[in-house]
Structure 1
Amino acid sequence: MAESLCGIDLNQARRSGSTIKIELDDGETVEGRIVSFDHWHLLVQLEEFPCVVLIAAIARMEQVRAS
């Protein structure tokens, strides 16, 4: 199971209810709280919308952030 993403400890962020920021492909940034995650997926409760979104391909996101 992936336990960190771009330097964020996912377990700690989920337990504490911390808000994380995610930059989307179009450059827009969304904020939310981690609901759940596994090795490849991240479920986030968005701050601005009453929904949970699935962020897929964590490995790809790590690769993009490292660039």
Structure 2
Amino acid sequence: MEYLHGVDLHMAQRNRSTVKIEVDDGETVEGRIVAFDDWHLLMQLKDFPCVVLVAAIARMEQLG
């Protein structure tokens, strides 16, 4: 799993790509990026009809 940079985050958000996020405790979530800043992501989760704030991001990868 590779770290995505700010430009990649912007492209993933604009293209409505699915990303996989690994948070600090080793858990992963998949979904689309709704918004982001330097420290947080607002994501629409793949398997749940909700939007969540992800704060403790360890790594990310773009799935599609």
User: What's the TM-score once normalised by structure 2's chain length?
Assistant: 0.71
- Which residue is 1:65 aligned to? none
Deviations 1:12-59 (A, max 9, x none): 00000000001242x33221000000111110100100111101145x
Please provide the CA RMSD for this pair.
2.1
- Which residue is 1:52 aligned to? 51
Identity %: 65
**What is the SS of the residue equivalent to 1:30?**
strand
- Larger Rg: 1 or 2? 1
**With CA pairs under 8 Å and 6+ residues apart, which has the higher RCO, 1 or 2?**
2
Residues in 2 aligned to 1:20 and 1:53: alpha-carbon distance in whole angstroms: 14
User: What's the TM-score once normalised by structure 1's chain length?
Assistant: 0.68
List gaps (5 residues or longer) in structure 2.
Answer: 60-64
Point out 4+ residue stretches in structure 1 off by more than 2 angstroms. Answer: none
Q: Number of residues paired by the alignment?
A: 55
Residues in 2 aligned to 1:39 and 1:17: alpha-carbon distance in whole angstroms: 19
- Which residue is 1:38 aligned to? 37
**What is the SS of the residue equivalent to 1:54?**
strand
